Each structure stands twice: as C-alpha cells, then as structure tokens.
Amino acid sequence: MRVHIATDHAGMELSSHLITALTAKGYEMVDHGPSAYDAEDDYPSFCINAALAVVADQAAGVDALGIVLGGSGNGEQIAANKVKGARAALAWNLDTAKLAREHNDANVVAVGGRQHTVEEATALIEAFLTEPFSNAERHVRRIGKIAAYEATGEVAE
C-alpha cells in the first residue's frame, strides 16, 4: 500500500518516526512535507497535496491512503477535506481510527502529534491503515450521498 503523509512543524517528529516504522512494515511512504522545521510553516499546502495524491492514486487503481499530522490534527483534517474525493477523519482513539475506515471508508487519517505519545499515535495510524471498509449497504449509501453533494451541491434525501 502507498501511504501519503504530510505534517506541519508540530508533527515533524511523529512524521519522521512513522515514515521509518511504516516503511519497515512494507508500506510505500510518500512524504509531502515539510522537508525542514519551520515554526511558522503553513500546513494547508502539505495536507492538500497529500490528499490530492491519495485521491489521484485511488482513481488510478492504486491501493493508497493518507496521513496528515499537526498539533491537534484539526486544521490538517479540514485542509485535506477540501480536496474533492478526500474523506479525512480525525482519530483520537482506536475506535475512531477503525470506524473511520470501517464505516466511512475514510482515505486520510488526521492525528494530533501533541495529543498522543509517539507509541499511541503509531497505534492509531496502524489501526486505520489495516482496518478494511465494511462495504455494508448503509455505509455505501451514506458515502454516496456525500459524494453526490460534493459533485452537485445538492443535498440528497
């Protein structure tokens, strides 16, 4: 699986750890930045680029997911969700990480680097990456309604 990762300055240590740890587990890691610490960096471009890459890979039939990191993960999730086709979910415990995939078929996970230890954050991300989408009809239907709104701007009943 290809995993696109992006962060801001608050998640750089975690990002570096994840790139090493997940590469060792066989994931193909693609780092969307930043490449150097800058306390004044702006995360939206990094996170949007990671989400764009996930959506493009998935459209091309590549097995791909994304990770966006920051201090809280909130802004990073918001930025990733601006990409058409991205479904970014903020994970703060194992249940939210797994349910993001199982029920929502999320393709990007957001985690707050300042909210968890490196070990906790790694466990959340590994849970997200390994949890399959259930393909349950109700979840497929709901995701379809979100996609329809994204495409048309009309709210389905």
Q: Is 76 one of the annotated active-site residues of the chain?
A: yes
Handedness of CA 65, 71, 77, 80 (dihedral sign): negative
Catalytic residue among 103, 120, 131, 139: 103
> Which residue is it, tokens 């991205």?
86
* Residue 138, H or E segment: helix 137-152
The residues annotated as belonging to the active site are 76, 103
